Amino acid sequence: MILADTSTNAPQQKAHATATQGTPVAVTTAETTGRQAVEVRNLEVFYGQHKAVHNVSLSVKHQEVTAFIGPSGCGKSTILRCFNRMNDLVRHCRVQGSVKIHGADIYARGTDVMELRKRTGMVFQKPNPFPKSIHENVAYPLRIHGVRGKAVIAEKVEKSLRLAGLWEEVKDRLHASALSLSGGQQQRLCIARAIAVDPDVLLMDEPCSALDPIATKTIESLINELSKSITIVIVTHNMHQAVRVAHQTAFFYMGNLVEAGPTDKMFHNPEQHQTLAYVTGQFG
Amino acid sequence: MAAIFTVAKQRAGDFPVRIIHGFCLQCTRKMMSNPTPRNSPASAFSPWHRLFRSVLDRLTVGLSISGVVMMLGILLLIFAVLLNGAWMAIGQIGWKFFTTATWNPVPGMDQYGVLSFAYGTAVTTIIALLLAVPLSIGCAVFITRIAPQWLAGPVSFLVELLAAIPSVVYGLWGAFVMSPWLQTHIELWMWKATRNIRLIPIGYYPGHRREYFPANLVHGGPSGSDYLAGGLILTIMILPIITAITRDVLQQFPEELEQGAYGLGATWWQTTRLALTYCRVGIFGAAVLGMARAIGETMAVVMVIGNTDRVSSSLFAGGQTMAGVFVNEFLEADHPIYLSAMMYVALTLLISALLTNIAARVLLNRISTV
Amino acid sequence: MFKTFRKFLMVAAPAALLAIGTVGTSRAVEISGAGSTFVAPIMYKWIKIFQKSHPDIHVDYEAIGSGGGINGLIGKTIDFCGSDAYMSDAQIQQAGGHVLHMPEVAGPEVMSYNLPMVHKQLVMNGKLIADIYLGEVTRWNDPAIKKLNPGVKLPDLPILVAHRSDGSGTTFIFTGYLCKVSPTWKKQVGQSTSVNWPVGRGGKGNPGVAALIEKTIGGLGYLEYAYAITGHFPVARLINKDGYAIQPSMPSVIAAQKAVVENLPADLRLHIINPSGKKAYPISGFTYLITDRDLGYMRKSKAKATLEFIHWILTTGQKYAKTMQYIRLGPAMQKQVLAQLAKATWKGHHLHY
């Protein structure tokens, strides 16, 4: 029934041992020739004794927008947070399986987690600018990754703010507090902050859920713009948003990947009846 | 009392129904159907309930105002009593009180100056803050961000336990345990390391023409009863309060910011630094509270500071603090000008404490703006 | 404000007592004293024993310091004061002009030192002590110390001088002694409960000074006899006025009392400083009970109880001094003090107690 779910019979083994067992569900269709940005094989996540993600395998295509949808508690955020190992920070959280970003296994021993997080920027549900000036917020990741020199930093800050579509609004008050911005502006600042160090992948965890419709629209067009140069994975509750921004969509339910494919197909002609039920609003 | 406070809350607009419940059933029932009494027409309330509310409101306001007046009144009264007591000394000694380091209470010789005591208070407080603030921050970071839960609790409790020890116990421990140890270990080592290093011509030691930093800091050799000992005992005493408050404000560091920093690839240390920057106002406030305690501390300091009225740039020299001279000599201040000079010291202490607090407040405003 | 409160108490308390008296209930007379902390341990013992034989009198003593006791006497908030220093003329004037000073026990002061390598007891004299406290003799192998201690191998160490930092009767007696033996001291420093010390470090109370001496080899300081004996601190023998090296002890202090008793001042305000005699120890003071000469400001029964308590201390109470490491009054001295007590009156009348 459910393609990716082999949890009922898959023995709990180490990541690489199980790598060949699961059947990967490619987000990209077989005929796509583009590179895979993220490849997930047999991912399982435990919180203590509780298994939150069951043997998920999927791939995310390079320089496209992929949406993760599903009802609350379906594990979509948890999977997203495996891509930059944010789950390491959660006590009693254990991850099995493999996650490769551009071919490199990020759970391999000796992975530089800080470098990984630099390459996979993250934007959170609630705008979380630091209580610093607008300029310092964008400069922060540059500084912690060792970029020095006032001019270099100023140039990068401007570039990021322009990319995030915020430059025209804040260029005259770069040294004002970031907290003086509106919610939508703050979220765009957080995006600017995340892309300041040129990440390959941008992870967005329900980036618009705390914003009003107009701010949401601005962010969505920004996502379209950014996807030209960056791979984006976005977790969203809002199915319309997935339709508007995502090239590919993956639907999760109760820790399992139910179905994944091009967004159009997922919303109009899904293969699983659970997907159909969810996208037509019968549950969720 | 609780009712008064909740009604005050009601004015601010939260939980309008709960408070009145039990006082006026009629109204409660009405409000059940109309839970926004603030915007509802006055007819929603029974007349006696309105009366009850206005009386309570007035009582609350009256109580708050009288509290403020009482606080101000007490401060003014203390000030007036000290000024009155010090009046004679102010008249006879005047400004010279602040430039004289000698304190000679022998009847007929009477010579009174607060300089050496003010200097002692400043030096010991600065030493205490320089040592206690980083230590406390380290301790608070350990409790909130490093220690596992089973360890954080007990460590936290132990630190708070330090605050409950009476200051005279610290004093006796300081005099019989810390001071000898300080003298034969730390001070001996400091002395050996720096006594012959003369870099910058700066410093003062009574009876010596020229002093050089850093040798001037150890002039006189290890004694164990000196500014350093005074500063150290204060460090131990203000550690718990600064640690406790710093721990509390660090716990307020929002999860989102923590995640945000880690998400950008910040290391543990970089994230901790961000948290400390975020909490700087609270930590500064903790340091100010610690400083206030250090300035006012008496018994513990008196037991270890050496109690002499000399000014010296050596950390190994004996000294005295303003609060210390008070606890030492006030009871036996047996002639009028002596007693009046003691009051003058107390007045100086009060005013300098006020000034430091104001300065701290100004600084606080400056650092709290992003 | 405080004064008004005191006045209120002074008016209200006797009034309340009177009211109780008129309804006929018999009630213990309460007398209260305050002052010297030095005398407090034996005072508490005295009170405990006295009350066994005098259940109708309740005595209360607060060890708030001699100065505080004297202030209490001036303000008439207490019935008797314990003080290590006698009252100055100015204080007596403030208290109304007529007070009685009654020495109760004597307190010698000892020079204690910390030289573990020296096994023989050191000998010192007044001039040497003054020079050390003036900062003129600074090392233990100074010729002045060697001269007084022939055959003792003295170390080449600095003398770490300790003194009291709190104002105290002990310091008053000690500086009084230094004034008497050193004109320089008298001119430069003088005598008081706390002085401007030329050298040294201060410690609060006997424990504070003891801590300073104990801590460093080469430490030297003055302590109250009782404290030094209880703590087994090494003490020096002192050379007295007639050139004898005297060990601080009960006989030597009683001998010192005997030496001064011949020419006592009429009001008994004195310290036993540098007396003559073969056996007299040079530095001791009396600690005093001080009352108004006329107790007319209190009720008759209270005045009677106060005088009775003092009389008991001066006679029966003396025998408890030794176990508490205080020095009792010598017989000759005791006679003089009792004569002083006999001068006390109540509204001009002598009372029988």
* Alpha-carbon span C293 to C344, nearest angstrom: 5
* Alpha-carbon span B169 to B236, nearest angstrom: 12
Q: Identify all chain B residues contacting A113, using CB atoms and an 8 Å cutoff.
A: 265
Query: Is the CA virtual torsion B338, B341, B345, B347 positive or negative?
Result: positive
8 Å CB contact between A9 and A54: no
8 Å CB contact between C155 and C47: no
Q: How far is CA B330 from the centre of its chain?
A: 23
Of B106, B175, B225, the CB nearest to C195: B106
Q: Which amino acid is at B24?
A: C
Mean pLDDT (whole number) for B351-367? 88
* Alpha-carbon span C135 to C160, nearest angstrom: 10
Across the A/B interface, how many CB contacts are shorter than 8 Å?
A: 65
Q: Identify all chain B residues contacting C211, using CB atoms and an 8 Å cutoff.
A: 175-176, 179, 303
Greater pLDDT, A33 or A217: A217
Q: Is B335 helix (H, G, I), strand (E, B) or coil?
A: coil
Lowest mean pLDDT among A98-107, A171-180, B361-370, C155-164: B361-370
| Domain ranges (residues) in chain A | 6-279
Q: Quick one: pLDDT at residue A106?
A: 92
- Is pLDDT at A9 greater than 60 in this prediction? no
Round to the nearest angstrom and report the end-to-end CA distance of chain C.
Answer: 38
- Is pLDDT at A1 greater than 70 in this prediction? no
Q: B interface mutation test: which of C136, C186, C215, C233 has the most B CBs within 10 A?
A: C215
Counting residues of chain A whose pLDDT is more than 90, the rounded percentage is 70
- Is pLDDT at B81 greater than 80 in this prediction? yes
* Cβ within 8 Å, pair C160-B333: no
**Structure tokens of C345?**
């009156």
**Mean pLDDT across chain C:** 88
The tens digit of pLDDT for each residue in C141-154 reads 999 999 999 999 99
The tens digit of pLDDT for each residue in B136-162 reads 999 999 999 999 989 999 999 998 898
Of C68, C90, C191, the CB nearest to B335: C90
Q: Quick one: pLDDT at residue C165?
A: 92
Q: Identify all chain B residues contacting C196, using CB atoms and an 8 Å cutoff.
A: 102-106, 109, 111, 309
Mean pLDDT (whole number) for A55-80? 92
Q: Quick one: pLDDT at residue A234?
A: 95
- Is pLDDT at A46 greater than 50 in this prediction? yes
**Mean pLDDT across chain A:** 85
pTM of the full predicted structure?
0.80
Question: pLDDT confidence of B369, banded at 50, 70, 90?
Answer: low
Burial (CB < 10 A; 0-12, 13-18, 19+), residue A230, is buried
A/B touch flag: 3 or more CB pairs below 8 Å: yes
The C-alpha of C83 sits at a distance from chain B's nearest C-alpha, in angstroms, of 11
Peptide bond into B214 cis (omega under 30): yes
B/C touch flag: 3 or more CB pairs below 8 Å: yes
Greater pLDDT, B29 or C298: C298
* DSSP H/E element including A143: helix A134-144
* Cβ within 8 Å, pair B370-A132: yes
Closest CA to C57 of C37, C27, C84: C27
Most confident of B28-37, B127-136, B303-312, C38-47: B127-136
* Cβ within 8 Å, pair C196-B309: yes
8 Å CB contact between C199 and C177: no
Alpha-carbon Rg for chain A, nearest whole angstrom, is: 19
Question: pLDDT confidence of B316, banded at 50, 70, 90?
Answer: very high
- Is pLDDT at C24 greater than 60 in this prediction? no
C/A touch flag: 3 or more CB pairs below 8 Å: no
* Alpha-carbon span B169 to B228, nearest angstrom: 19
8 Å CB contact between B297 and B98: no
Q: Identify all chain A residues contacting B150, using CB atoms and an 8 Å cutoff.
A: none
Q: Which residue on chain B is closest to A179 by alpha carbon? A: B370
Q: Quick one: pLDDT at residue A284?
A: 65
8 Å CB contact between A59 and A40: yes
Which chains are adjacent to chain C, needing at least 3 Cβ pairs under 8 Å?
B
* Alpha-carbon span B189 to C7, nearest angstrom: 60
Closest CA to C140 of C154, C122, C126, C150: C154
Numbers of helices and strands, H then E, in chain A: 11, 11
* Cβ within 8 Å, pair B264-A126: no
Of A126, A132, A193, the CB nearest to B264: A193
Q: C interface mutation test: which of B84, B116, B225, B305 has the most C CBs within 10 A?
A: B225
Cα atoms in the Cβ-side hemisphere of radius 13 Å centred on A168: 1
| The domain defined by A6-279 carries CATH number 3.30.360.10 | no
Q: Quick one: pLDDT at residue B20?
A: 38
Question: pLDDT confidence of C263, banded at 50, 70, 90?
Answer: confident
Question: pLDDT confidence of C261, banded at 50, 70, 90?
Answer: confident
Q: Quick one: pLDDT at residue B163?
A: 86
Counting residues of chain B whose pLDDT is more than 90, the rounded percentage is 58
Of A126, A133, A141, the CB nearest to B264: A141
Q: Which residue on chain A is closest to B369 by alpha carbon? A: A177
Closest CA to C129 of C177, C164, C81: C177
Which chains are adjacent to chain B, needing at least 3 Cβ pairs under 8 Å?
A, C
Q: Is C344 helix (H, G, I), strand (E, B) or coil?
A: coil
- Is pLDDT at C13 greater than 70 in this prediction? no
- Is pLDDT at A188 greater than 70 in this prediction? yes
* Cβ within 8 Å, pair C70-B334: yes
Most confident of A181-185, B217-221, C322-326: A181-185
Question: pLDDT confidence of C230, banded at 50, 70, 90?
Answer: confident
* Cβ within 8 Å, pair C214-B176: yes
Sequence ranges of chain B with CATH classification 1.10.3720.10: 111-368
Q: Quick one: pLDDT at residue C353?
A: 75
- Is pLDDT at B249 greater than 90 in this prediction? yes
Mean pLDDT (whole number) for C55-60? 92
Q: Quick one: pLDDT at residue A36?
A: 83
Contacts of A31 (CB under 8 A, 6+ apart): none
8 Å CB contact between A138 and A193: yes
Which chains are adjacent to chain A, needing at least 3 Cβ pairs under 8 Å?
B
Q: Identify all chain B residues contacting A128, using CB atoms and an 8 Å cutoff.
A: 254, 256-257, 259-260
Across the B/C interface, how many CB contacts are shorter than 8 Å?
A: 108
**Mean pLDDT across chain B:** 85
Q: Quick one: pLDDT at residue A14?
A: 36
C157 touches chain B (CB under 8 A): no
The C-alpha of A249 sits at a distance from chain B's nearest C-alpha, in angstroms, of 24
Question: pLDDT confidence of C27, banded at 50, 70, 90?
Answer: low
Cα torsion for C305, C308, C309, C314, to the nearest 10°? Answer: 160
Lowest mean pLDDT among A11-20, B50-59, C118-127: A11-20
C217 touches chain B (CB under 8 A): no
* Cβ within 8 Å, pair B334-C196: no
B173 touches chain A (CB under 8 A): no
| The domain defined by B111-368 carries CATH number 3.40.1710.10 | no
* ipTM, interface predicted TM-score of the complex: 0.83
**What DSSP assignment string belongs to B261-284?**
HHHTT--HHHHHHHHHHHTHHHHH
Question: pLDDT confidence of A125, banded at 50, 70, 90?
Answer: very high
Cα atoms in the Cβ-side hemisphere of radius 13 Å centred on B113: 18
Q: C interface mutation test: which of B84, B328, B330, B339 has the most C CBs within 10 A?
A: B328
8 Å CB contact between A38 and A201: yes
* Alpha-carbon span B175 to B35, nearest angstrom: 66
Of C167, C190, C207, the CB nearest to B331: C167
Q: Quick one: pLDDT at residue A28?
A: 43
Mean pLDDT (whole number) for B304-321? 91
* Alpha-carbon span B327 to B61, nearest angstrom: 40
8 Å CB contact between C201 and B225: yes
**Structure tokens of B28?**
């409660």
Q: Quick one: pLDDT at residue B44?
A: 62
8 Å CB contact between B136 and B239: yes
Q: Which amino acid is at C102?
A: M
Q: Are strands A120-123 and A201-205 parallel, antiparallel or unpaired?
A: parallel
Greater pLDDT, B194 or B38: B194
**Structure tokens of A186?**
């703050």
Collect all residues from A whose CB is shorter than 8 A from any CB in B. Answer: 84, 86, 89, 113-118, 121-122, 124, 126, 128-133, 140-141, 144-145, 177-179, 190, 193-194, 197
Counting residues of chain A whose pLDDT is more than 70, the rounded percentage is 88
C167 touches chain B (CB under 8 A): yes
